[in-house]
Amino acid sequence: MEKTIKRVKTYIQGLDDAMQGGVPAGHVILVSGTAGSMKSSVTFNILYNEALNGKTGLYISLEQSYESLNQHLSNMGLRLDKINIQPVKNLTRIEEVIHTVKNNSTGSIIVVDIGTIRKEIKDIKIADNKSWLNVIKNVVKKVKMETNCSLFVLDSLSALYTLSRFEDPRVELFYTFEFLRDMDLTTFLISEMPLDESKYSEYQIEDFLSDGIIHLRLTPFRRNIIKEIMVVKMRATNCNNDVFSLEFKNGQFQALYGGQNPLL
């Protein structure tokens, strides 16, 4: 008998139905898109809605500060006061944050602001090639082991490459993806796409290593830009790969198809 796969909703109305209810739990998904295509909003919105349901998520931001992210999400109407949101701007605070998350009955999001941490750290050793990847891995491992965290967003893989240069990407990426799969977290890796949309990821190996690819894009239409979303691949899922327009209305993401294009 076919075993039912546990799925995590993307909380994009219309898109979840296009992939049997959502992303298979524990999968590593690449969320690829050009600048401003709502990569951070869509992924954070997943953690937010899961937190409203009592779950715990980890969001590691490498470039956008916690303040900037918070301002953007609050402006979109996300009620961050309804969840237990815990910024980490100093690695020594991680223990305290984990303690707070463990003792909180509401769902939580731990937001690790690596940009601010980098500015605070004077220790030159941390600037070494592999150190940031290790810092991230250690944070993920610790949060996973000590809390009931089930979701992880890395914003972004592209920013990680500028911090930790991979000498042999094929090998190092293989082990990084293996590490993430072993963590058994539903993981969203944000990938910044070049403007010409020529590739989903920097080395293109990530496309094969990931279990799924969600593509976000901005498409000019007459004198407007439409936001679009499509599921390029999703392992273990019978999915619809159509291009949907992506809208955010009344606090809800929606994927629209066909005659429902808002600009037509």
Taking the least distance from each CB to ligand ATP, the nearer of 38 and 231 is: 38
- Is residue 40 part of the contact set for Mg ion (CB under 5 A)? yes
CB of 98 vs ligand ATP, minimal distance in Å: 27
Distance (Å, rounded) from C-alpha 117 to C-alpha 18? 39
145 makes contact, choosing from Mg ion, ligand ATP, none, with CB < 5 to 8 Å by partner type, with none
Distance (Å, rounded) from C-alpha 120 to C-alpha 51? 29
Q: Is the link from the previous residue into 156 a cis peptide, with omega within 30 of 0? A: yes
CB of 157 vs Mg ion, minimal distance in Å: 12
33 makes contact, choosing from Mg ion, ligand ATP, none, with CB < 5 to 8 Å by partner type, with ligand ATP
26 makes contact, choosing from ligand ATP, Mg ion, none, with CB < 5 to 8 Å by partner type, with none
Beta strands 212-221; 28-33: pairing state = parallel
List of residues 6+ apart from 121 with CB closer than 8 A:
none
41 makes contact, choosing from Mg ion, ligand ATP, none, with CB < 5 to 8 Å by partner type, with ligand ATP
CB of 208 vs ligand ATP, minimal distance in Å: 23
Residues that bind ligand ATP (CB under 6 A): 33, 35-41, 72, 75-76, 248
C-beta separation of 91 from 135 below 8 A? yes
Give the up-direction half-sphere exposure of residue 133: CA atoms within 13 A in the CB hemisphere. Answer: 20
35 makes contact, choosing from Mg ion, ligand ATP, none, with CB < 5 to 8 Å by partner type, with ligand ATP
C-beta separation of 237 from 255 below 8 A? no
Angle at which helices 94-102 and 131-146 cross, to 10°: 20
Taking the least distance from each CB to ligand ATP, the nearer of 38 and 185 is: 38
CB of 121 vs Mg ion, minimal distance in Å: 23
| N-term to C-term CA, the chain | 45
Taking the least distance from each CB to ligand ATP, the nearer of 41 and 245 is: 41
List of residues 6+ apart from 170 with CB closer than 8 A:
203, 205
CB of 168 vs ligand ATP, minimal distance in Å: 28
55 makes contact, choosing from Mg ion, ligand ATP, none, with CB < 5 to 8 Å by partner type, with none
CB of 213 vs ligand ATP, minimal distance in Å: 15
> Which residues make up the interface to Mg ion (CB under 5 A)?
40
